[in-house]
Amino acid sequence: MAKLISKYHKLVLHIYTKGDKSIKIIVIAGTAEATSIIDKLLDMNINVLATVTTRLGMESIHNRKGLHIYQGRLTQKNLESLIAEEMPDGLIDASNPFAKDISKNVLKISIKCNLPYLHYERKEIKSQGKDIIRVKTYDQAVEKLIEHKGNIMLTVGSSKIEMFTKIPNFKKRIFLRVLPDVKIISRCEKLGFNPGNIIAIKGPFTEELNVQLIKYCNASIMVTKESGNTGGTIEKISAARTLNIPTLMIERQEFTCENKTDSLEGVIKYIEKIIGLNAI
């Protein structure tokens, strides 16, 4: 009888209040959309724990009332410990679309812990043209660049940056656009990149700013990832076209899972389903 009363109480609470404060969601934050997801969940009166890797990631979301943040490298062991401690009702993976290893780990752990999992991934940009050179891997990108003449502007982040040291005369020819994080800058310098060629700056970037940066680098090619519109891909392509230089595009790897969305509406439906399960 006590269990039935408890279930009935939860159902009444769900019907007459905005959300259910007992619901807790862990958000793996690694994109601009993660911020919108977090804001929406907080607005729905959901308990939210966001995980971020870097100090910059934490600074982008830390001023939200009621939000709990875990900062640090998210290993499988760390996430399992976090789940055991926090006992969430579900996981939303809004990590970077190129962080497939993280997504695979989160999905694996969600299955192991029997937790509802939702993968958020922004829509791809289907830009076409002779000036866009598409490759599927970083290795293929490096092979193309080895054959290329002139300066190179890299806008691919820093996670795979060591691969580009294979390019002849990389210290002089490669310009890096990376986040203004002391650890990232130090790593680039240790790999041998010219400190004068490291552009430490945080977006968003307009087409005009991209044009000026390409001019500063005197780049004959721009390298980017298929990060989607929110990742600034359109502005990069437009800037390269303005200056009549090609764009080398590293495509995403497909990530397959049962629950996947590319919209905030899809996130809301996922949360409503969890609230419904907890109200029974």
Separation of alpha carbons 142 and 145, rounded Å: 5
pLDDT at 176 (0 to 100): 96
Q: What is the mean pLDDT of residues 79-84?
A: 90
Residue 272 and residue 45 in contact, taking contact as beta carbons nearer than 8 Å? no
Q: What is the mean pLDDT of residues 158-177?
A: 95
The 3-class SS string of the chain reads CHHHHHHHHHHHHHHHCCCCCCCEEEEEECCHHHHHHHHHHHHCCCEEEEEECCHHHHHCCCCCCCCEEEECCCCHHHHHHHHHHHCCCEEEEECCCCCHHHHHHHHHHHHHCCCCEEEECCCCCCCCCCCEEEECCHHHHHHHHHHCCCEEEEECCCCCHHHHHHCCCHHHHEEEEECCCHHHHHHHHHCCCCHHHEEECCCCCCHHHHHHHHHHHCEEEEEEECCCCCCCHHHHHHHHHHCCCCEEEECCCCCCCCCEECCHHHHHHHHHHHHHHHHC
178 vs 76, higher pLDDT: 178
- pLDDT > 70? residue 6: no
Separation of alpha carbons 247 and 240, rounded Å: 7
pLDDT at 278 (0 to 100): 64
Separation of alpha carbons 29 and 261, rounded Å: 15
Percent of the chain with pLDDT over 70: 90
Question: Could you read off the pLDDT of 170-201 as tens digits, one per residue?
Answer: 999 999 999 998 989 999 999 999 999 999 99
Q: What is the mean pLDDT of residues 205-218?
A: 95
- pLDDT > 50? residue 118: yes
Q: Which tokens go with 270?
A: 């996922």
Q: What is the mean pLDDT of residues 256-273?
A: 88
pLDDT at 239 (0 to 100): 96
Count Cβ neighbours within 10 Å for each residue of 144-157 and write b for 16 or more, e otherwise. bbeebeebbbbbbb
pLDDT at 230 (0 to 100): 66
Strand-pairing partners, residue 27, are 50, 92
- pLDDT > 70? residue 265: yes
pLDDT at 280 (0 to 100): 52
pLDDT at 17 (0 to 100): 38
Angle at alpha carbon of residue 225, lines to 160 and 240, rounded to 5°: 120
* Listed range (3-12, 48-57, 76-85, 111-120) with the worst mean pLDDT: 3-12
Separation of alpha carbons 237 and 132, rounded Å: 8
What value does the mean pLDDT of the chain take? 85
